[in-house]
Amino acid sequence: MNLRPAAHYYGGMDDQRLRQYARDWLEGRLSREAFVECFREAAIASWSSVTLDTDRQSRCGFPEVVYGEGKPVEALVEIADHFRTRQTGLLITRIAPDAAETLCERFATSHYNPVARTWRWAPESEKVRSPVGRVAVVSAGTTDRAVAEEAVETLHWMGVGVTLFQDVGVAGPHRLLAIVPQLRQADALVVVAGMEGALPSVVGGHVAVPVVAVPTSVGYGAAFEGVAALLGMLNSCASNVTVVNIDAGFKGGYVAGLIASRRYAGDPRISKSATSTGCGSAGVSQDSDQKADAHD
């Protein structure tokens, strides 16, 4: 019996395959050692210098996300082709423009956000689903936009509804107060800020929802490239604030997306990878201080 469905690709262990392997073992067509090997091989896809975790979605709810910075274009193309073969949506973060251009040429329905430096793709056969849950992404200043948009793109890929509020930092507190009623309607918040990193604490004091704080490397010398904001957020007096790494928009968006989507566990509307739009310089465009950019 061939345990590997295709060269370099062992697939994910779905119920049908599991039942077939179990039947073959029970009926003597598969040895115990070969049966155990099925599980081991079903969890990975390996070639060249790449080893993908193809079982990530069954364990963690969403497929593996690829960190694109430093990876050769050829490797990213191979990875994307593999995800297409498996008909699984893919998100690549910190992708270089030349790599994104190459991928967009090969994947007509993909979506590249040059500000967020993200590229994502979903299979054409995937049905368009309404976003599930609601996350608000809040940035302190326009300079934090790239990190905030990385969080937004992550939430799109997760199929979670997201609204972006930009430039509502603590230097103009009335700007934040104007959007507090909308923030209170969210399932979770991602708050992105540099400098002294005060915004998440202020937001946390106004809402009864989880706040995922994302420090950014924005600021002058004593900001220490985001360390000052990170330490300030870690010392937040607001009990509903938790913190991720500096400039980690993906991690902030992912954690908030898990919180929001878990509220609707078992809801058939939940999409494991967001439906993509066409390539191009798509992103969030926002010029004024208090406008919200809704992504539905």
- Choose between 232 and 283: higher pLDDT: 232
How do the domains of the chain map onto residue ranges?
1-42, 56-121, 132-295
pLDDT score at 88: 76
In the predicted structure, residue 128 carries a pLDDT above the cut 70: no
- Reference 230, options 208, 252, 210, 209; nearest CA is 252
pLDDT score at 23: 86
C-alpha span between 101 and 77 (Å, rounded): 11
Res. 3 pLDDT band, cuts 50 70 90: very low
In the block, which residue shows the tokens 């959007």?
A: 179
Res. 189 pLDDT band, cuts 50 70 90: very high
**What angle (nearest 5°) sits at the alpha carbon of residue 94, between those of residues 89 and 95?**
70
Cβ(32)–Cβ(25) below 8 Å: yes
Cβ(268)–Cβ(136) below 8 Å: no
For the stretch 258-289, pLDDT in tens is: 999 888 776 554 444 444 444 544 444 333 34
For the stretch 201-224, pLDDT in tens is: 999 999 999 999 999 999 999 999
C-alpha span between 27 and 7 (Å, rounded): 27
For the stretch 9-22, pLDDT in tens is: 334 455 676 788 78
Assigned fold of 132-295: Rossmann fold (3.40.50)
- Choose between 256 and 14: higher pLDDT: 256
